[in-house]
Amino acid sequence: MEEQKQNEASEAPKEELKKAELPELKPGQTIRVHQQIKEVEMTEEKGKTKAKERKRVQIFEGVILKKSGTGQSATITVRKISNGVGVEKIFPVNLPTIVKIEPVKQAKVRKSKLYFLRSYGKRMKEVAA
């Protein structure tokens, strides 16, 4: 009896962690990742410091360079060019702060790891199209 309760208890969190509305993610795909960010602003009034917390959604749009892992531990590496500087972010797919992942377009690629895009620099946008 106790073993059944433990099995049921261990299965419940796994079901909660699954993202139902996750699109199919492939390397070469341009996506928008909507991530919820907490901003803490410290203000000083009458000698007392107050922390003001604000939540907002930050959008990171870029090309998927690679996809690694399966299940709960799956991650994607997304790269974009921001002000002439390449920025890469690794997102765990099941991160609770990710509001949604929205595919923009799919480029035709033949490799599963697109590390060669790093050397393209500013021309990456042309390749991804």
**Alpha-carbon distance 121 to 104, whole Å?**
21
**Which pLDDT score is estimated for 123?**
67
Query: Is the predicted pLDDT of residue 59 greater than 60, yes or no?
Result: yes
How many domains is the chain built from? Answer: 1
Does residue 8 lie within any of the structural domains? Answer: no
Does residue 122 lie within any of the structural domains? Answer: yes
Question: Is residue 27 exposed (0-12), middle (13-18) or buried (19+ Cβ within 10 Å)?
Answer: buried
**Alpha-carbon distance 89 to 114, whole Å?**
14
- Tokens for 102, please give them: 């929205």
Q: Which domain holds residue 80?
A: 20-128
Does residue 12 lie within any of the structural domains? Answer: no
Does residue 10 lie within any of the structural domains? Answer: no
Q: What is the share, in percent, of the chain residues with pLDDT greater than 90?
A: 53
The CATH code of the domain that includes 45 is: 2.30.30.790
Does residue 28 lie within any of the structural domains? Answer: yes
Q: pTM of the prediction?
A: 0.74
Does residue 48 lie within any of the structural domains? Answer: yes
**pLDDT, the chain, mean:** 83
Question: Is residue 110 exposed (0-12), middle (13-18) or buried (19+ Cβ within 10 Å)?
Answer: exposed
**Alpha-carbon distance 75 to 78, whole Å?**
10
